[in-house]
Homo-oligomer: A and B are copies of this chain.
Amino acid sequence: MSSIGIVSPQTMYFAQPLQLQSGASLQDYMLMYETYGTLNADRSNAVLVCHALNASHHVAGVYADEPKSTGWWDNMVGPGKPLDTDKFFVIGVNNLGSCFGSTGPMHTNPATGKPYGASFPVVTVEDWVSAQARLADELGITQFAAVMGGSLGGMQALAWSIMFPERLRHCVVIASTAKLSAQNIAFNDVARQAILSDPDYCGGDFYAHGVVPKNGLRVARMVGHITYLSNDDMAEKFGRKLRDAAQTGDYKFGFGIDFEIESYLRYQGDKFSEYFDANTYLLITKALDYFDPARAHGGDLAKALSGTKAKFFLASFSTDWRFSPERSREIVEALVCNRRQVTYAEIDAPHGHDAFLLEDPRYMNMVRAYYGQVWHDITAGAPAAAQNTAVRQGAKETA
């Protein structure tokens, strides 16, 4: 198992307008993407990896001269890794509206000659999938071996299975959900309020003013980050430890930092506010809130998934309270109603929502094993016998 090594992104320009779910359209746009591994002769070994809020096309490997630029899922994707680039041609695409290279609110609106800012159209998960599908067309990929994602990335994978049932053989959905809960939406909205009410947001046109709504972004990130960590993990890692544990006199009796957790979260917030675009944050949280494929079917998720043809792998993590295992079970049930082949793993892991990015060995092995099946599927030709598997790793197994 080694890393991919040096990689570099590519861009593709799309001159044709993209119709969006809102009714608006993007006149033209650019997508930034990266690929790892080699596309085989019959173009059957491509795997699309979809990213979540704070991630991009840069899934794995490093950039030349930037040793700290390791891709966000480098532990998952690479030679000999669970998603093995010695076998699969892996593609990461930066979504529209994001801030890592694809067309977004910081780019020039051709209609006005100024940055889109807050006038960048509100995009949905389905809009992203439409754009990704166009890229697949340009790359000559009619069918992906798999489409995979975690969290918001998993929502995209799910949308792929609904929108383009024939274009993916396998759908890999990690730590995800078929729709956000009221509590999820609430946290997103608080984060948006923090950004929108930052005077440096300037109604979205902060680019022109040479400022950045850092305070709003910082608070937004702190709120979000709390939801990514499990209560147990926070207690374990931080508890009530003081940041300056060596100090006598203990509490500082001021409004600065006392506790390690405060220091950690403020650091996370500060770091994030230095690179993440505020308009992007608003756009991506709205996409999160809006996603609800069952909505067009009177709330019936089984109905929404009735046209899917892919085989599915889902995984959830026990201490994830943002997208709890219950959310994944709802998807699994709806798929089973439709007699889809489903493999489902519920991992007992302490790391909350963030666990999907970490290296729990049981999780990694399950994904590795599943991609072994995917490989067999695309190389052997004959579909595997219909078999549903639900496994709880770390507790008793149930078939």
**In the bound complex, CA of A29 to CA of B180 (Å):** 49
Contact B24 A253 (CB under 8 A): yes
Contact B196 A199 (CB under 8 A): no
**In the bound complex, CA of A295 to CA of B250 (Å):** 11
Copies in the complex: 2
Q: Is A370 an interface residue (CB 8 A)?
A: no
7 further A-B contacts with Cβ under 8 Å, apart from A21-B253, A180-B240, A190-B219, are A181-B234, A183-B234, A186-B261, A190-B222, A192-B255, A255-B282, A255-B286
**In the bound complex, CA of A210 to CA of B399 (Å):** 66
Task: Give A contacts to B, CB under 8 Å.
Answer: 21-24, 118, 121-122, 179-183, 185-187, 189-190, 192-194, 196-199, 215-216, 218-219, 222-223, 226, 229, 231, 234-235, 237-240, 251, 253-255, 258-259, 261-262, 265-266, 269, 282, 286, 289-290, 292, 295, 321
Contact B223 A182 (CB under 8 A): no
A182-B261, A199-B199, A289-B258 known; A193 vs B266 contact (CB < 8 Å): yes
| A179: chain B residues within 8 A (beta carbon) | 240
Contact A193 B254 (CB under 8 A): no
**In the bound complex, CA of A185 to CA of B226 (Å):** 10
**In the bound complex, CA of A186 to CA of B230 (Å):** 12
| A121: chain B residues within 8 A (beta carbon) | 253
**In the bound complex, CA of A254 to CA of B283 (Å):** 9
- Can you give 10 contacting A-B residue pairs, CB < 8 Å? A22-B253, A182-B237, A183-B231, A185-B261, A187-B226, A190-B223, A193-B222, A193-B266, A240-B292, A258-B290
Contact A189 B251 (CB under 8 A): no
Contact B253 A182 (CB under 8 A): no
